[in-house]
Amino acid sequence: MVARTRRARISGIGGIFFKAKDPKALVQWYRRHLGMDIEDTVALFTWRSGKDGKAKGATVWSIFPLDTKYFGEDGASFMINYRVKDLDGVLAALRAEGVEEARKVEESEYGRFGWITDPEGHRIELWEPPKTYRAPERPNEME
């Protein structure tokens, strides 16, 4: 049997989100010991890609309060956000494979978001960035 070539559905990691008992104290720890430029509880790491290096993007790192339900109802301590180019197409393909959506698609100035849950109950956020890139105010430049 010939192996079928499958088109990638995700294009990278858009963000890493985790819970903390004391988000403000943890932010201070990361600032002090790792030198991260964190605004409120969010750090943005900017990067460039593409053949010519002109495509710009950012990966979000954020601490959430321990009681957030944003990661799902099962008490998960983290959630990973993956970038996609065609959220509707990815969700349609996943539905056809029997994967259930965890929430309805939401749209904002930051792009479009959809959620699924893996077989072990981890909520996965799928993010289609907006067509025009808006640079973060205080990014952490990735080298």
Residues 6+ apart with CB under 8 A from 82: 10, 11, 12, 13, 14, 124, 125, 126, 127
pLDDT bracket for residue 17 (50, 70, 90)? very high
Residue 31 has pLDDT above 80, yes or no: yes
Q: Is residue 137 part of a domain?
A: yes
pLDDT, tens only, 35-65: 999 999 999 999 888 888 888 888 999 999 9
Domain coverage including residue 26: 12-141
* Whole-prediction pTM: 0.80
How many CA atoms within 13 Å lie on the side-chain side of 98? Answer: 1
pLDDT, tens only, 74-119: 888 999 999 999 999 999 999 999 998 888 999 999 999 999 998 8
Q: Is residue 26 part of a domain?
A: yes
Phi/psi for 67 (5° steps) reads -95, 10
Q: Is residue 4 part of a domain?
A: no
Mean pLDDT of 63-73: 92
> In this predicted structure, what is the pLDDT of residue 48?
87
Q: How many domains does the chain have?
A: 1
How many CA atoms within 13 Å lie on the side-chain side of 50? Answer: 8
Q: Is residue 2 part of a domain?
A: no
Q: Is residue 6 part of a domain?
A: no
> In this predicted structure, what is the pLDDT of residue 85?
92
Could you give the percent of the chain with pLDDT greater than 70? 87
Residue 77, domain CATH: 3.10.180.10
Q: Is residue 1 part of a domain?
A: no
Q: Is residue 85 part of a domain?
A: yes
Q: Is residue 7 part of a domain?
A: no
